[in-house]
Amino acid sequence: MFGLIRIRHKSTFTELPKNSFRRKITFLILASLVFALISMGAGSIWFSLNYFKESNRGQMEEKIQTVQSTLAYFSKYVGNYKDPQFYNNKLFESLTRLSNNAQIDINLYAPNGVMVRTTQKEMFDSYLVGFRMNPYAFKEIVYNHKKQVINQEKIGNLTYYSLYAPLLNKDGKIIAIVNIPYFSRKNDIGAEASNIIATIINIYLLLLLGAVFGGIALSNSLSKPLAEISRKMRIIEVGQSAEHIDYNNKDELGILVAAYNKMVDDLEESTRQLAQSEREQAWREMARQIAHEIKNPLTPMRLSIQHLVRLKQQNIQGWEERFDALANSLIEQIDILSDAASEFSSFSRFYSEDLTKVDVNNLILEQIVLFNTRDNISVNFESEVERDAMILARKTQLARVLVNLLSNAVQALEGQLNGKILVSLTKEEKYYSISIEDNGTGVPENLTHRLFKPNFTTKSGGTGLGLAICRSIIEQSQGSVSYRKSERLGGACFTIRLPFSLE
Return the pLDDT at 421.
92
pLDDT in tens, 278-336: 666 766 766 666 665 566 567 667 767 777 778 777 877 766 776 776 777 677 667 76
Contact present, 162 and 148 (Cβ < 8 Å): no
**Cα–Cα distance between 405 and 202 in angstroms, integer?**
77
**Cα–Cα distance between 236 and 227 in angstroms, integer?**
15
**Cα–Cα distance between 443 and 411 in angstroms, integer?**
13
| Residues ≥6 apart with Cβ < 8 Å to 38 | 204, 208
Indicate the range of 302-311, 392-401, 402-411 predicted with least confidence: 302-311
Evaluate the CA torsion angle 185, 186, 188, 189 in order and state its sign.
positive
- Of residues 198 and 344, which shows the higher confidence score? 198
Return the pLDDT at 10.
45
Confidence at 3, pLDDT banded by 50, 70, 90: very low
> Among the residues of 9-157, which ranges form H helices?
10-13, 21-75, 89-102, 121-125, 135-138
| Residues ≥6 apart with Cβ < 8 Å to 383 | 361, 364, 389, 424, 425
**Cα–Cα distance between 303 and 412 in angstroms, integer?**
30
Return the pLDDT at 13.
43
Helix, strand, coil abundance in the chain, percent, nearest 5: 55, 15, 25
* Degrees to nearest 5, angle at CA 355 with 349 and 361: 110
Contact present, 378 and 421 (Cβ < 8 Å): yes
β-partners of residue 150 are 163
**Cα–Cα distance between 382 and 215 in angstroms, integer?**
61
Q: List phi, psi (to 5°) of 438.
A: -145, 170
Q: Is the pLDDT of residue 396 over 70?
A: yes
Half-sphere exposure of 274 (CA within 13 A, CB side): 8
Q: DSSP 3-state assignment of 395?
A: helix
Q: DSSP 3-state assignment of 180?
A: strand
* Degrees to nearest 5, angle at CA 121 with 119 and 123: 115
Q: DSSP 3-state assignment of 217?
A: helix
The DSSP bridge pattern shows strands 492-499 and 431-438 to be: antiparallel
Q: Is the pLDDT of residue 177 over 80?
A: yes
In CATH terms, 1-229 corresponds, of 3.40.50.10860, 3.40.50.300, 3.30.413.10, 3.30.450.20, to 3.30.450.20
| Residues ≥6 apart with Cβ < 8 Å to 69 | none
pLDDT in tens, 84-108: 888 888 888 888 888 888 778 888 8
Burial 65-78 (b: 16+ CB within 10 A, else e): eebbeebbebbeeb
Q: Is the pLDDT of residue 12 over 50?
A: no
**Cα–Cα distance between 501 and 392 in angstroms, integer?**
5
Contact present, 200 and 41 (Cβ < 8 Å): yes
In a 10 Å sphere around its CB, with 0-12 CB exposed, 13-18 middle and 19+ buried, how is residue 499 labelled?
Answer: middle
Q: Is the pLDDT of residue 75 over 70?
A: yes
Contact present, 446 and 435 (Cβ < 8 Å): no
**Nearest Cα to 423, choosing from 378, 466, 386, 392?**
378
- The CA-based diameter of the chain, rounded to the nearest angstrom, is 167
CATH no. for 356-499 = 3.30.565.10
Q: DSSP 3-state assignment of 112?
A: coil
- What 8-state DSSP symbol labels residue 341? H
**Cα–Cα distance between 49 and 417 in angstroms, integer?**
96
Instruction: Fill in the amino acid letter for 176.
Output: A
Query: For the chain, what percent of residues have pLDDT higher than 70?
Result: 73
Indicate the range of 109-113, 186-190, 269-273, 332-336 predicted with least confidence: 186-190
Q: Is the pLDDT of residue 9 over 70?
A: no
pLDDT in tens, 198-238: 777 777 777 777 777 776 777 666 667 677 777 766 666 65
Q: Where in the chain is the domain with CATH 3.30.565.10?
A: 356-499
Q: Where in the chain is the domain with CATH 3.30.450.20?
A: 1-229
| Enclosing H/E stretch for 306 | helix 252-313
Return the pLDDT at 169.
87
Evaluate the CA torsion angle 332, 333, 336, 341 in order and state its sign.
negative
CA dihedral 232, 237, 239, 244 (to 10 degrees): 0
pLDDT in tens, 205-215: 777 777 777 76
Q: What's the chain's length in residues?
A: 503
